[in-house]
Structure 1
């Protein structure tokens, strides 16, 4: 069963009083150093979409020490999410994804600051998702209108971001790559977004995570198939790009 917020805090205090919480980020410090950990703890990242891609980005950011997250998703957890979304367990089916993630993240990092936005993202609503200064954005939503709204807002406001393109109907996570929207191949979503972004006069040198793998054919149901290892890897790559830019490392 999921721990309630009060129970989480009680358990945290017990561990903290024993001194064992002091080394929660010891392994992070051993890789990045204390100064970079402090930078992450002072950073604010917004993640749009808590599905197969975004859910892994969110948890990886929290476990890496990022101190504040804005979580944007309008949906509730469905049984069909259990195969690939990290916040989806039997206990959370029917729960808002943002609420389920709040419980999950507080059980990992009780000091983390969270802003939850249950909203359908488009040009009319995107600004409301940025109620505080944001240092980086991960776009992991499916809607083309939503993606374009996020990209346009970020470009106009000088917010660095990375966008994930199609991760469904693929089987090989090793074919995921980081490139820019104007250089993508074999991605029907990228082709459509490129056209629409060009119509809006946007800069097409948008950092994206995409697959070089040919997508599998659609089945008769019309529902996009997805195996956990491709979207999960895409989400972790998005997190990697975010951390690199926040800390200005690995370029």
Structure 2
């Protein structure tokens, strides 16, 4: 019998589908990069996703953020993202935190989420650094997205350790600051 994940199951097998269903991911930022990440997580059958974003949808988001429509202008991003995720996969558990994360404002926050993975898709350098620091200390795998804006050749993007990044001004700052922190 066919269901939402039938074709993915053909590709990866039923055991991997169950692994995805049992996986919990925290997603910091549901804008341009985060909205695409959310879409992929939901469509892959990840069982629990924690959304963290303290912003609302603006007209300038329409051309670059997957979760936005004219009807959602002014609404809170985490609520719109949650509704979109549930419209794709009603079985996914979505927790939302309508906050702009900083360690100073929310100490111990990441640890309290009890997740298997973290995706950092935010712009604020201090928060990005803290997310990476906490994840490393707590042995939580983290993917931190660097500067993809104003790029014309997405095929040149790469997934790698930040030490292997080049030409991205944000990654340059992150490398320098992480090195200062012994990471």
1:154 to 100, 124, 135: 135
2:22 to 20, 29, 42: 42
Q: Which runs of 4+ in 1 moved over 6 A?
A: none
CA distance in 1, matches of 2:132, 2:26: 13
Unaligned runs of 5+ in 2: none
Please state whether the residue corresponding to 1:31 is helix, strand or coil.
helix
TM-score by length of 1: 0.70
How many residues align structurally? 182
Please state whether the residue corresponding to 1:197 is helix, strand or coil.
helix
- How much is the aligned-residue C-alpha RMSD, in angstroms? 1.4
| Higher Rg of the two aligned structures | 1
CA distance in 1, matches of 2:138, 2:3: 37
Unaligned runs of 5+ in 1: 1-19, 204-251
1:68 to 23, 27, 48: 48
After superposition, where does 1:17-32 map in structure 2 within 5 Å?
23-32=3-12
The equivalent of 1:170 in structure 2 is 151
Q: 1:74 to 1:129 in 2, by over 3 A?
A: farther
Please state whether the residue corresponding to 2:74 is helix, strand or coil.
coil
The equivalent of 1:184 in structure 2 is 165
CA distance in 2, matches of 1:126, 1:48: 15
